[in-house]
């Protein structure tokens, strides 16, 4: 089943756009927004949320379980 992902944009009075991906984990967050970021212009900063690291944590836990079971 496909996962529902939404993207939230907040535009400040200074014109700064803040983008937040909801419902995605790992690098899929960045893949989801690449097209719109290219259309909007230069990305001046990026703050990764904890959800970004969920896939890598799962992979690390899986790798350590395999190592200890061997």
CB under 8 Å to 62, separation ≥6 — which residues?
Answer: none
64 pLDDT more than 50: no
Q: How far is CA 33 from CA 22, 56, 59, 61, 68, in A?
A: 11, 19, 23, 28, 38
Q: Which of 1-5, 30-34, 44-48 has the lowest mean pLDDT?
A: 1-5
1 pLDDT tier (thresholds 50, 70, 90): low
Sequence ranges of the domains in the chain: 6-69
pLDDT digits (tens, 9 = 90+) for 34-44: 998 899 888 88
Kindly report the average pLDDT of the chain as a whole number: 77
Does this model's pTM top 0.85? My answer is: no
């Amino acid at each position: 089943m496909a996962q529902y992902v939404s993207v939230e944009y907040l535009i400040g009075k200074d014109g700064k756009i803040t983008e937040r991906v909801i419902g995605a984990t790992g690098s899929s967050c960045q893949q989801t927004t690449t097209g719109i970021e290219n259309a909007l212009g230069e990305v001046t900063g990026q703050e990764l949320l904890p959800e970004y690291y969920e896939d890598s944590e799962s992979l690390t836990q899986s790798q350590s379980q395999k190592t200890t079971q061997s």
